[in-house]
Chains A and B, each alone.
Chain A
Amino acid sequence: MPELVLSRSSPAEPVVAVGHLSRTFRGQKALDDVSFTVERGTVFGLVGENGAGKSTLIKHVLGLWRAESGTVRVFGLDPVAEPAAVLGRIGYLSEQPDLPGWMRVDELLGYTQAFYPNWDSQHAEWLREQFALDPTARIKTLSRGQRAKLGLIAAEAHRPDLLLLDEPSSGLDPVVRRDILEAIIRTVTDAGRTVIFSSHLLDEIERVSDHLGMLHRGRLRLCAPLDEVKARHRRIVLHFELPQPNPPTVPGAIRVSGAERVWTVICEASRLDRAAIARNFGARITDESPASLDEVFIAHTGVACEALPDHPIAI
């Protein structure tokens, strides 16, 4: 069963290595000392609210923007200095793919194919049929969801070593979002391929990511394997004998919310001392569970990632 060879033991060199990257726009820090690596064969999920710096970061990885300070390496290369060598191995889909409206679907695919020696026409055709896109349709007549699908074919059909998706499912219906997640899964199942995927939809990030990066106001607040993030955070509910005027100071607490006699604490699992809570506060822990990713995000940033909840994906 070759698929099971999909191990995490990847060769030493990461696919993407970002070191101390900073970027300022009109005096505002869009990226502030961001460092992370993405290992081969994994999905790196980048979460953050709108304006957190996700797209800015991705544009640096693509080499569209030069690092003001810090370094960006993709496949070991500087994407600004060697754009051809880097971009030829990347498939990119943005939130609103910039497609020429006057072209037909088949013309765009033919045009894109010319840039990529590895273009897999059979795969492109299979995807086009899966997505039920009419090859003769003009792009300007396509719906937003159909454009996203076309953008996905253009990003995926040359079987890139790195698939970069920047908020691909924003504003799309659940069916198209499912298509996008399936593309991520296909890519990473294809041994050795890597995905970076940014979203403000934590549900999607949690489904497909191996590694999580949490961006907030240009800073990477949390960057760790998803399993570790989940194991590291717990949510406890405390019941006090008497109403508390101030939030209790629980060791390891990242965020405390509540009032009076009932308080909810998101805390670091390793520092959670149940006996001390009972001893010091006279409080009972009435509920304890792993924290959800939403709760972890709010705990670390103070804001909710998803301003408006999208419809959950129908499975």
Chain B
Amino acid sequence: MTPSRLNPSSGTPLYLQLVEQLKHSIETGAIRAGDQLPSVRRMAEDLLINPNTVVRAYRDLEAEGIVVLKHGSGVFVRDSVVARTELMRRAEPIIRAAVTRLESLDLDADEIRRLMENELSLRRVARDRRKRLA
């Protein structure tokens, strides 16, 4: 579950690359809620990076509420963090039911797609307007 590889020669700071990779692992469910992340030393030695870089990445994830640092025992993925894959799985029956009903109205695939796009863009406009007023 250690991120596979970081690229020092890209301009992106290594700690950000590590944050992104860990987030990705959590989203795809490779790292799950409650899992313990490798110790700073272990992660630094595996990835061949400065331990302070690992500390910084862990602190970032903590600030975002993704992990919790438990003193004396390690860094854990918060229980409240639900993997995106899990959310997608929950969304499947909802969308299936909706599409079934739309098809029963005799709408074809293209029309359903257009309706979905239309609805999303209306929401986007409304959201932007609220943001501007705020």
Q: Point out residues on A near B: beta carbons under 8 Å.
A: 1-4, 6-8, 42-43, 178, 181-182, 185-186, 188-189, 202-203, 206-210, 227, 230-231, 235, 289-294, 313, 315
Contacts and interface: CB of A to CB of B under 8 A. Distances in A.
B84 interface: no
Given A3-B55, A6-B51, A235-B11, 6 more contacts: A7-B55, A227-B15, A230-B13, A289-B11, A313-B48, A315-B5
A181 B48 contact: yes
Contacts of B14: 206-207
A189 B40 contact: yes
A4 B55 CA distance: 6
Interface residues on B, range: 20 to 34
Contacts of B48: 178, 181-182, 185, 207-208, 313, 315
Interface string B5-38: 1101111111100000000000000000000000
Contacts of A3: 39-41, 51, 55
15 contacts: A1-B70, A1-B73, A3-B51, A4-B71, A42-B52, A181-B48, A185-B41, A185-B44, A185-B49, A206-B14, A208-B48, A210-B50, A289-B11, A293-B8, A293-B9
B82 interface: no
Given A185-B50, A188-B51, A207-B50, A6 B8 contact: no
Given A6-B51, A230-B11, A1 B44 contact: no
Contacts of B55: 3-4, 6-7
B41 A292 contact: no
Interface of B: 4-6, 8-15, 39-41, 44-45, 47-52, 55, 58, 69-75
A7 B55 CA distance: 9
Given A1-B73, A1-B74, A4-B55, A294 B9 contact: yes
B42 to A, nearest CB: 10
A6 to B, nearest CB: 6
Contacts of A189: 40-41, 44, 51
Contacts of A292: 9-11
A207 B72 CA distance: 27
Contacts of B15: 227
A290 B39 CA distance: 29
B9 A203 contact: yes
A231 B9 CA distance: 14
Pick the most buried of B4, B11, B50: most chain A CB atoms within 10 A of its CB: B50
A227 B53 CA distance: 10
Contacts of B70: 1
Nearest to A209: B50
Contacts of A1: 39-40, 69-75
B12 to A, nearest CB: 6
Contacts of B73: 1
B75 A208 contact: no
Given A3-B40, A290-B11, A207 B49 contact: yes
A18 to B, nearest CB: 22
A182 B44 CA distance: 8
Given A1-B75, A315-B5, A185 B11 contact: no
A178 B46 CA distance: 10
Given A3-B39, A4-B58, A227 B11 contact: no
B49 A208 contact: yes
A203 B13 contact: no
Contacts of A4: 40, 55, 58, 69, 71
